[in-house]
Amino acid sequence: MPMTHTPKTATLDDASEVGTTLARAFGDDPMMRWFFPEEATREVSLSRYFATIFTRQYVRHGVCERTDAAAAFWVPAQAQEKAVPDQETIQELTQLLGDRAELFGGAVELAAEHTPREPHWSLALIGADPAAQGQGQGAALLRSGLAQADADGMPVHLESSKPENLPVYEHFGFAVRDELRLPGGGPQLWTMWREPRRPADA
CATH code of the domain covering residue 186: 3.40.630.30
* Domain that residue 144 falls in: 8-194
In a domain, 118, yes or no: yes
In a domain, 127, yes or no: yes
Q: What is the 3-state secondary structure (H, E, C) of 26-50?
A: CCCCHHHHHHCCCHHHHHHHHHHHH
In a domain, 202, yes or no: no
Residue type, position 118, single letter: E
Residue 7 burial by CB count (10 A; 0-12/13-18/19+): exposed, middle or buried?
A: buried
In a domain, 186, yes or no: yes
- Beta-strand relationship, 156-160 and 121-128: parallel
| pLDDT tens for each residue of the chain, 202 residues long | 344 589 999 999 999 999 999 999 999 999 999 999 999 999 999 999 999 999 999 999 999 999 999 999 999 999 988 877 778 888 888 899 999 988 888 888 888 888 888 999 999 999 999 998 889 999 999 999 999 999 999 999 999 999 999 999 999 999 999 999 988 888 999 999 999 998 655 5
Contact 138, 70 (CB under 8 A): yes
The domain total for the chain is 1
